[in-house]
Structure 1
């Protein structure tokens, strides 16, 4: 009976290329998520240059708004002439 028991380790196939790619991709995704969470938790000090710029108008804001284009749905009314 003791000779019937097999205590050898089970055969584990070598991981394929796609399995390795998936494993390392998951590791990279987890590291990216940790970096994103740390970026939210840890505050970044603002420079003094950024504090003075908001009082100046930006180049995009300095433009004047465009005149409203006439809508294409409204057509000028035609005058009907009676020929009687």
Structure 2
């Protein structure tokens, strides 16, 4: 009975080109995800430039002005609609 059992390794077919492509693609995808997660976790110090400081308040003022203009534009039609009633 012991001679009937075959404990040799089963024959495994060689992986095809598409299987290899899929396997290495999964490895590259995992590596890319690790790089992205590390980019979020590890802070990168930004170089401190003198020119960037004066431009920041200007950009903040520019963003505030359109919001104020949009709010006043929204209020005008409502007042005109009330006058028509």
Give the unaligned 5+ runs of structure 1.
62-84
TM-score (norm: length of structure 1): 0.60
**Cα RMSD (Å):** 2.1
Q: Which residue of 2 aligns with 1:25?
A: 25
Q: Which residue of 2 aligns with 1:3?
A: 3
> Rg: which structure is higher?
1
Q: Secondary structure at the match of 1:26?
A: helix
Q: Which residue of 2 aligns with 1:14?
A: 14
TM-score (norm: length of structure 2): 0.60
Give the unaligned 5+ runs of structure 2.
63-85
Deviating runs (4+, > 6 A) in structure 1? none
Residue-by-residue CA offset, 1:32-84 (whole Å, 9 max, x unaligned): 00000000000111111274242456xxx7xxxxxxxxxxxxxxxxxxxxxxx
